[in-house]
Amino acid sequence: MGIGESDLSDEFEFDGNTFIEGRFQLIDRIRSSQGDEIVIESYYITEKNTGREFVGIERIRNAQGDFSIPAILSRCAVMSIDEEAFLWSKNVTSLTIPASVTRIVSHALCDCPRIKAFSVADDNPKFKSVSGLLLTKDGKVLVRGVNGDVTIPNGVTRIGDYAFFDLSGLTSVTIPSSVTSIGYCAFNGCSSLTSVTIPSSVTSIGDSAFARCSGLTSVPIPSGVTTIGEGAFAGCYGLLDKKGFVIERDVLYSFCGGEESVTIPDGVKVIGASAFMACMVMKHGGPTRVTIHNGVIEIGEMAFFWCRNLTDVTIPRSVTSIGKLAFSTKALKSVYVSVGDIDRVKKLFLDSGHDIKDIEFVEPEDGGS
């Protein structure tokens, strides 16, 4: 064990108490069951009111295969797992969590892309494992899933943020009717997933929830879903129609086409937040002209912001809402509007934070609408 200075000194609130991170940085060396040396970097955590000391794990190096998080390090109970704890241990396939670990920082387990099973001590007050999945103790939140064919237990109401993030070995998932929300980046990067059936109980799908699920060919959205987050289906190339759009019901969620001139399809009422995000990585920079048909009501935040070559856009009279930074005004030069609609459209742009001093608003010369 080695002790060195640490620059950690933050306070955090957890479970109704205040804790102080820092004081010293610790290095422990343990042996795996195969005899390999595993280095664990950690630091002291002090409960402010009582002065009790715990340990938070900052980084685990060289862990692989079946790994058990130690319950004690540097003579203190291990309480917390930090977000980069497994950054250097990506080959862990099963993880055992002791009773002492009560805090796992948001995406701390995202660096375990080969995980197949979790095991949690029965007397852990915050977490439990069911069928190899990591859940909160009450069974209501799925904290982290595993690869393979997965059935989420009945009783889970929320699929947590990053729950299946980057689990490219996830081949199927069954979601029970108890689930009402799917969290941020919940299935992001699950490239082997080909279809998902979302139950009618779900009302909310978080930002980037299914982003980069390149194998998905079907995700029917139930009518009860009232919120779908930004970039929820970005990079889902299997969902693209022939023109490069991902459209569910009347919402355009994503575009990944190659045309320089794009017309929003009939039937679309909402252009979702960051819908054209894929333009950020397109060599040609995305379309130069976009025609939005009459019938579109809303343009979401940053919908076209990533289209660095977009110079012309047509805004119909039906549009009543333009989200913040929907367009990059560095490129945009001309906005075509209906006769008599310039002042209203200008106000929509200004109210959403756009700098319009270099943009020309143009009415049709023939008096058309």
Task: Name the pTM for this structure.
Answer: 0.79
**pLDDT at residue 284 is higher than 80:** no
Residue 334 located in a structural domain: yes
Count of CB atoms situated within 10 Å of the CB of 109: 25
Which of 217, 239, 261 terminates a domain? The answer is 239
Given a cut of 50, whether residue 269 has pLDDT beyond it is: yes
Same-domain check for residues 199 and 286: no
Structure tokens at 260: 């320089």
Based on its alpha-carbon atoms, the radius of gyration of the chain, rounded to whole angstroms, reads: 25
pLDDT tens-digit series, residues 2-27: 333 334 457 767 677 777 776 567 89
Range of the domain at 256: 251-369
d(CA 196, CA 175): 8
DSSP 285-302: -S-SEEEPPBTB-EE-TT
Looking at the structure, tell me whether residues 72 and 99 fall in a common domain: yes
Region of poorest pLDDT, from 39-43, 192-196, 252-256, 264-268: 252-256
Task: Evaluate whether residue 52 is within a structural domain.
Answer: yes
CATH code of the domain in which 338 resides:
3.80.10
Distance between CA atoms of 56 and 23, rounded to whole angstroms? 12
pLDDT-derived band at 229, boundaries 50, 70, 90: confident
For residue 122, the SS3 value is: coil
- Output the DSSP codes for 254-287: EE----SEEEPPTT--EE-TTTTGGGGG-TT-S-
| 221 and 272 inside one domain | no
Burial profile 235-259: b = 16 or more Cβ within 10 angstroms, e = fewer: bbbbbbeeeebbbbeebbbbbbbee
Residue 116 has pLDDT above 80, yes or no: yes
| Count of domains for the chain | 3
